[in-house]
Amino acid sequence: MGDFNAKIGTNNNGLETIMGRHGVGTRSNNGDRLIDLCQTFQLVIGGTVFPHKEIHKYTWTSPNGHTRNQIDHICISRKWRRSLMDVRIRRSASIDSDHELIIGELLIKLRRNSNTVNRTTRRQPPINVQRLSDSNLSTRMATTLREQMTAQPLNHSWEQTCSILRSTAEEMLGTRKRRRTDWISALTWELISKRNSLKSRADHDCRARDEH
């Protein structure tokens, strides 16, 4: 993935295994170089494969809004071509750039993890270990664990040990809820909203100018 500054165009005669017929514009010198790279490493240029309106193919718009090109590309190994379901831009994304956000949609089958014990353990809520700072509580918990482990047979399994530790900790320390905090502040959302409004107005003016 990247800004290759390469216009690929629509002509794929003799290049059917590398590109489709849904590129934009006329192939440039950098486009020829990208095609040579894809031939060498057996890659497919995803943005030329899927039919979309041209406004959903342009990845770059000049600051004055007059020039648009498809110069950012997602390439995928020919071996995994069938896993690539779509490539298009998202014009609504605010990325503070004259480039648009380009999205590749993949469909991949992952091998199921057979280790159900570890998967179940990960889903359990975290123990409230902060309560161990209470010396009286930590002493009582250590005593309780010692008594429970002593009562177990010498050849007990590691899973039994984990179960004892977990149940004792939950009973004496309790669990805590995971806190989720917003990673974008309210002020940032407000600025994003203002920028989207300005971008929408600029796009409308460009379309109106093109129609005239």
- For 38-50, the pLDDT digits (tens) are 999 999 999 999 9
Instruction: Collapse the DSSP code of 102 into the 3-class scheme (helix H, G, I; strand E, B; otherwise coil) and give the result.
Output: strand
The span from the CA of 183 to the CA of 173, in Å, is 30
Contacts of 2 (CB under 8 A, 6+ apart): 72, 73
For the chain, the structural domain boundaries read 2-108, 126-173
pLDDT tens digit sequence for 107-130: 988 777 666 555 544 568 888 888
- For 3-26, write each residue's pLDDT tens digit: 999 999 999 999 999 999 999 999
Tally of CB atoms within 10 A around 27: 18
79-107 burial, b at 16+ Cβ within 10 Å, e below that, comes to: eeeeebeebbbeeeeeeeeeebebebeee
Q: For residue 75, how far is the Cα from the chain centroid?
A: 16
